[in-house]
Amino acid sequence: MAAITSMADITIIGASHAGGEVASRIRQGGFSGSISLLGDEPYLPYHRPPLSKAFLAGRTTVEQLSIRSKGSYEKANIDWHPSTTVESIDRAAHRLHLTSGDQFEYGKLVIATGGRPRRLTLPGSELNGLHYMRGIADVDALRSDFASGKRLVIVGGGYIGLEVAAVAVESGLDVEVIEFAPRVLARVAGEDLSAFYEAAHRAAGVKFRLGTGVDGFEPSANQPDRIGAVRCSDGTVLQADLVLIAVGLVPNVELAQNAGLAVGNGIEVDEFCRTSDPDIFAVGDCTAFPLPFLDGKRVRLESVPNAIEHARLVASVINGTPVLYDLVPWFWSDQYNLKLQSVGFHHGHDQVVMRPTTRADGFVAFYLKAGRVIAADCVNALLEFNVAKKLVAENILVDAAILANPLVNLKTSIGPVG
């Protein structure tokens, strides 16, 4: 069969949250040309945060994960190509080569390839029963192994690992978390928050092995092709019926790199998400972006709000009304009945101010540097989170005693908060 050549004025590689948002916002901004969205999954762009929470627990369906309906893309005349994988980018010809052998020509290109779970290449890592989590298929595979009484070992005490631990222990599994760092959430949270979440998980029945690595995986005596145990770096052997590896994300930069685009810790883009090729943009988790909040330091953010903001930038440029990045980085996590909302980056703080809230299971950790709030972790504290976003965004000098006093209304004491 002869190769098929398609084309679009705007072609987007990756039907991710960022990719789908770019397509929709370009059209909403008045663009009248053709738009094509290429995704390697059979699903429309969908919300990924619920994967390790409500979707894993069975409280959310695939249809409910979708960000927009199929009809909304059709109405906007956005051409969706599911289960389509791009093999290479020919920048000179403005052409994509697909693994199917077909080709796709573009006017402008947007790379929204996201990332993939960091994999372990240890003895036994090929055994069945070892799971990773990034997409719907990953969760389906993990959920098929879920059963009350089974022994789940989670390698990695970050957000994904802890969110899955919460779902698993509530589902009746025996759960143990192995974390190389001396505390959970070590890369993303301060010590107080780490201690709080470790205590919450222990109270629910989760066990922890901190400051410990993994040397390999051992097969089951009854099923030699399946996981049976995890061998820790301290010599301990943990029996396991299934294992989740949650040790971080690797940005999907290979397409860009092989095409000769500038790549560092992600595809390098400017303040409008333009790559080193003027006809190619990149957005979301796969990019290294000059963040205004950090005085233009190039960082890679794995967050939905950042992906949406990138989409807004690209759409504004393509529609001829460029706008600058206008977001203070923030993140969230749901575990048990605890909603964590974090804003800013706590690294470099010289003071931590703890504030209780009206809820017994709520509190705020404010991180200050030279008297100004640079970050905050808010647990079951929506009002305080909204105030914290203002404090961080506007670099406001604030009295630590006011922050610590739960009787002081922060909203009124620092002025209007949107």
**Per-residue pLDDT for 4 more than 80?**
no
Structural domains of the chain, with CATH: 5-116+250-318 (3.50.50.60), 119-247 (3.50.50.60), 337-413 (3.30.390.30)
What does the pLDDT read at residue 1?
Answer: 54
**Per-residue pLDDT for 342 more than 50?**
yes
**Per-residue pLDDT for 259 more than 80?**
yes
Surface-to-core class of residue 166, CB atoms within 10 Å of its CB (0-12 exposed, 13-18 middle, 19+ buried): buried
Could you tell me the pTM of the whole model? 0.94
Better-predicted residue by pLDDT, 346 or 138: 138
The string of pLDDT tens digits covering residues 392-408 is 999 888 999 999 998 88
What does the pLDDT read at residue 158?
Answer: 95
What does the pLDDT read at residue 204?
Answer: 97
Contact 76, 34 (CB under 8 A): no
The string of pLDDT tens digits covering residues 23-69 is 999 999 999 999 999 999 999 999 999 999 999 999 999 999 999 99
**Per-residue pLDDT for 375 more than 60?**
yes
**Per-residue pLDDT for 85 more than 50?**
yes
**Per-residue pLDDT for 416 more than 90?**
no
The string of pLDDT tens digits covering residues 152-195 is 999 999 999 999 999 999 999 999 999 999 999 998 888 899 99
What does the pLDDT read at residue 187?
Answer: 87
Surface-to-core class of residue 141, CB atoms within 10 Å of its CB (0-12 exposed, 13-18 middle, 19+ buried): middle
CA angle 378, 382, 385 (to 5 degrees): 50
CA angle 7, 12, 13 (to 5 degrees): 105
Contact 240, 227 (CB under 8 A): yes
- The neighbouring-strand residues paired with 291 are 297
Contact 234, 139 (CB under 8 A): no
What value does the mean pLDDT take over residues 306-333?
95
Question: What are the residues whose beta carbons fall under 8 Å from the beta carbon of 23, sequence distance 6 or more?
Answer: 10, 12, 35, 37, 73, 76, 78
What does the pLDDT read at residue 54?
Answer: 94
